[in-house]
Structure 1
Amino acid sequence: MSRAGRLLATTRAGWHSFLRRRTAVFFTFFFPAIIVLIFGVLVQTQPASGGLFTEPAGWYIAGYLAVVVLFTPLSRVGSEVARHRSGSQFEKLATTPLRRWEWLLAQTIVNTIVIGIAAILLLGLLFTATDASVKGSADVVLVVPFVGVGVGLFCAIGALLGSLVDSQDGVIAASNGIAIPLVFLSEAFVPRELLPAWLPLELSPLTYFTRGVRAVTYPEPADSAITAAPVGTPLLDLLVLTGFAVVAFVLAAYLLPRTD
């Protein structure tokens, strides 16, 4: 079987495996909706009032997308690797022509499709339930590569966790232990000026995702009295994010176990 055939077959198997887990399917799409309903509808934004959630609603689009791109692949791929280890699946895969990086790429493709659908549904709910809007420029299409590269990055980090942590429960705990701090320390929901100046936010790859997506989606407020947090330089942010993703993918593929 050719490499393309192996990738297609593994991707198809991963997709059907995802669909068979109804609980996973439900929470993959339900969790982002809950985030939007809680923070976008119930809490809402209070511009110029001080404290958290004081930016215009459009400023938080990048944060909502960051939640989907971060949590879902991190936990899904980490758990998948842990399941393969506990079921001795990598030992069986070692007897086939399928290479480890091909298996990881197939998992990344599946998650990119899943999270792409989840992101579209999330944005639809966000624009329906809140007054958020996006920039009316061609740059907004850069959201697509940002999401794709971000998913690839956190799939690779999830695979690293699955390879290094002993159990599936441990992988889930480690995923949450990484994801929750990153959400609040990567300018997803908390502007830079509200955090201590000594925090090295640039060490977090999620920072480049949120800055880049915000730069191409957030329309500057017409009301000059509202001073929104600064946005980033999208192409540079995408380049840095891609660098993180490539390094993480190579390392994750190398560390995937050959045997269990």
Structure 2
Amino acid sequence: MTANTAAAPVTRHPSAARRLLVSELRMLSREPMTLTFVLVFPIVTMLVIGGSFGTTPDAAFPVNPAHWYVASYVTVVIGATGLVMLPVHIASYRERGVLRRLTASGFPRWSFAVAEIAVGLLAIAVSSVLLLAVAAPVYGVPAVEDPVRVLAATLAGSLFFVALGVLLGTLLPSARAAQAVGMVLYFPSFLLGGGGPPPAAMSDSLSSVAEVLPLTLVTDAMRGPWLGLGNETGALLAVSVLAVIASVLAVRRTAL
């Protein structure tokens, strides 16, 4: 009896995380506005901006400008998921007392963070594939020069922004507050960190701001090895450290 009783919690935790993941995917499918923003906004802006600078490399773009933006806009998807989708979704749960009810139902609090991180990573994967599928017949998808570094940057950047989204969602008091804060954080990051004008077209002050944005680090770490513009090892290491810190904080916050 004692051995069986002791073994029960060990098998329950993974099951709890899986059950929460399935439930969260179902709930997220009922939020069309949030999904539309993450799925559609990056694609529409990529199509518009990607075609605004032609296809010939110049002083501002060391490669085909359309390919520059196709590679960059994968990180726009990452930012939209972590700064807008997840904070609003989770803050609405916090506002309605869902986290307290999950705890009362016997779910480990950390399992909520794990499930939300998994949902965020899945959303990024689906949105990125859709974005590249749309870009392929219009601008073409540039060849990946260093797949290992690009994959590492994508995973680290996605984990950082998803964990940050979970953390913001558990800290902000309401879905409306999360939406306001998320938009304030997202649009400067989007415009300066990869989705807006190239660094060569920015003023010195804007360039200084862009350099310290986390989304810029993720974009540099991914776009450089993707387009053969450099390994960007420093950016990759910085993003990896941020991903670890944000993940630990997100799990600890939901475990309180």
Whether the TM-score (by the shorter chain) exceeds 0.5 is yes
Q: Give the superposition deviation at 1:173.
A: 1.2
Q: Give the superposition deviation at 1:52.
A: 9.2
Where 2:204 maps in the other structure, the secondary structure is: coil
Question: Are residue 86 (structure 1) and residue 95 (structure 2) matched?
Answer: yes
Distance 1:7 1:157 in 2: 19
Q: Within 5 A, what are the aligned runs for 1:22-33?
A: 22-33=32-43
2:253 maps to 255
2:161 maps to 154
Question: Are residue 122 (structure 1) and residue 131 (structure 2) matched?
Answer: yes
What letter matches 2:137 in structure 1? T
Question: Are residue 186 (structure 1) and residue 196 (structure 2) matched?
Answer: no
1:35 maps to 45
- TM-score, with structure 2 as normaliser: 0.81
- TM-score, with structure 1 as normaliser: 0.80
What RMSD in Å do the two structures reach over aligned CA positions? Answer: 2.9
1:100 maps to 109
| Structure with greater helix share of residues | 2
Instruction: State the identity as a percent.
Output: 24
1:45 maps to 54
Distance 2:59 2:102 in 1: 55
Where 1:28 maps in the other structure, the secondary structure is: helix
Q: Give the superposition deviation at 1:102.
A: 2.3
What letter matches 2:139 in structure 1? T
Q: 1:17 to 1:119 in 2, by over 3 A?
A: same
Q: Give the superposition deviation at 1:213.
A: 1.1
CA contact (8 A) 1:33 1:125 kept: yes
Where 1:233 maps in the other structure, the secondary structure is: coil
Q: 1:59 pairs with 51, 68, 84, which one?
A: 68
Q: Give the superposition deviation at 1:247.
A: 0.9
Q: Give the superposition deviation at 1:109.
A: 0.8
Where 1:7 maps in the other structure, the secondary structure is: helix
CA contact (8 A) 2:75 2:194 kept: no
CA contact (8 A) 1:90 1:257 kept: no
**Alignment gaps of 5+ in structure 1:** 220-230
1:224 maps to none
**Alignment gaps of 5+ in structure 2:** 1-10
What letter matches 2:135 in structure 1? L
What letter matches 1:118 in structure 2? S
What letter matches 1:12 in structure 2? V
Give the paired residue count.
244
Distance 1:143 1:105 in 2: 24
2:231 maps to 233
Q: Give the superposition deviation at 1:34.
A: 0.8
